Every structure is written in structure tokens, then in C-alpha cells.
Amino acid sequence: MGGQACILYGAAEFTRDVDLAVAVAPANLERLRRALADLEAEQIFFPALSPLVLRRGHACHFRSRARGMHGLRIDVMSRMRGVDAFHALWRRRQVVDLPGIGSLAVISLPDLVQAKKTQRDKDWPMIRRLLEADIVGAAGTAHPRRVAFWLRECRTFEMLGDLGRRYPGPARRVAGRRPALRMAIRGDRRRTAAALRREEEQERERDRRYWAPLRAELERWRRERPRGPRATMTRPSP
């Protein structure tokens, strides 16, 4: 998931890290720990990797010291705001075959778009690029579910208007639930932009409310933890 997934979906982004969603199960976490050990990865932020931490929705952060991978940042989560539980994400995953690497499981595009609806300014332009890349890649042969996804998620007046003209039936159905699409079909650029801003503001506020108790919990854990020689920094929550 994250920036590497965006690259694989054609929305090019320079990223120095790898974001992973993982299943919280003893055997799976043991495999993860072995992989981190192979990468000579050290914890760089509090809290330490544990089932409780991942189930609560916190991230665990590492940096590789292995030769050829030195400095690679690795962020691990299991639960994310606004998306389904891991087992559902895994069921919908896309499998990509990369030369010299092999098969790689990637979070599905709709799930990635939903996960990108955060407080971070950089994520909203990325949603737009992900949708644009998917529409271009479909080359006019899209499945109805894919069209409905575009109509629900596209982020510009031009894209919404074009989709409305190309797929009038599905567009009318989705427009009943999405004011931004309805305004774009009418050709009202100003009201489309206003509706898109409201969508973004609402998602940003949901993200703030989601992270507030987790941020407080993380601070409480930080105060209560035994002091160690390493990884004493607290990762700021979004």
C-alpha cells in the first residue's frame, strides 16, 4: 500500500519508503519479524511492533541497515481509517508480477483511494492521479463496477463531466448520491468545485476525529513505557 502501490498503478510518485498492510496473526508476525531481521531493520519510532499496537490502528516504523537497502524506511500497519478489515483487503488484492522479483500483492485501487483520504495535503492530488491513470489504462473497455468507481471518486470538473457524457445511465444513478457529479453533469463548474471541496473537508475532519484518540493513546503509552536506549521518539500521528 502507499507510495509504492501508487507507482504500480501508474500514478508516478517518488517515494523513499515501503508501506505494508499485514495480517495480525502469530505465524504471520513471526514471518514479518524474520523479514525485518533479514533487512537488518531497526525500530525508529515508538511503539514497538506487537499485535495490540497493530490491532489498535497504530503504525510501526523501521529502517533497513542491510547492504543495498540501507536507509530504506518500512512502515507497517494492519488497520486503517475508512477501509475494511485486513481479510477483506486481502480478498480484493491485486497481484502484480515484477521482473526479477516475482508476484507482489498490492492493495486494490478502490481501497488505496479510500486509504488516501487523509489530512495530508499530498494525498488528494494523488487520488486524482490514480483515477486519471486508471481511466486512461482502461481504454474504453471498463466493467460497470469500474465505471461506478470512477463516478464516485473522480476529483475534477472535467473528468466528472466527461464521464457523465460517456456513461449517462450510471452517471445519473451515482449523481443522486454525489452532488459534485450532479453539478458537473449540469455543467456548473463553480458548484462542482464547491462540492468537491466539501467532500475533501468532510474526509479530513473524519480523519482528524479518527486519529485524536489514537494520538492520545500513543502519548499515554509513551509516558508509561520503560525507558530504553533506542527508539525513544514518538511518531507524530496524522
Residue 153 lies in a domain: yes
- What are the φ/ψ torsions at residue 186 (nearest 5 degrees)? -75, -10
Same domain, 14 and 67: yes
Q: Helix axis angle, 157-166 relative to 189-224, nearest 10°?
A: 120
Q: Does a cis peptide bond (omega within 30 degrees of 0) precede residue 110?
A: no
Which grid coordinates are listed for 184? 458537473
What is the extent of the structural domain holding 57? Answer: 3-115
Q: Please name the residues in contact with 230: beta carbons below 8 A apart, sequence gap of 6 or more.
A: 42, 43
Residue 192 lies in a domain: yes
Same domain, 9 and 110: yes
> For 212-229, what is each residue's pLDDT tens digit?
999 999 999 988 887 655
Same domain, 86 and 61: yes
Same domain, 85 and 131: no
End-of-domain residue from the set 63, 81, 115: 115
Residue 234 lies in a domain: no
Same domain, 37 and 80: yes
Question: How many distinct structural domains can be found in the chain?
Answer: 2
The sign of the CA dihedral 153, 107, 53, 74 is negative
End-of-domain residue from the set 70, 96, 115: 115
Report the chain's C-alpha Rg in angstroms: 20
Q: Is 230 exposed, middle or buried (0-12, 13-18, 19+ CB in 10 A)?
A: exposed
pLDDT band of 237, cuts 50, 70, 90: low
Q: What pLDDT score does 231 carry?
A: 47
End-of-domain residue from the set 115, 142, 163: 115
> For 48-77, what is each residue's pLDDT tens digit?
999 999 999 999 999 999 998 888 899 999
> For 11-36, what is each residue's pLDDT tens digit?
876 767 899 999 999 999 999 999 99
Q: What pLDDT score does 225 carry?
A: 80
Same domain, 157 and 193: yes
Same domain, 85 and 132: no
The answer, yes or no, to whether residue 163 has pLDDT greater than 70, is yes
Q: What pLDDT score does 137 carry?
A: 87
Q: What pLDDT score does 183 carry?
A: 98
Same domain, 30 and 76: yes
Residue 32 lies in a domain: yes
Same domain, 81 and 174: no
* Alpha-carbon gap, residue 148 to 137, rounded angstroms: 16
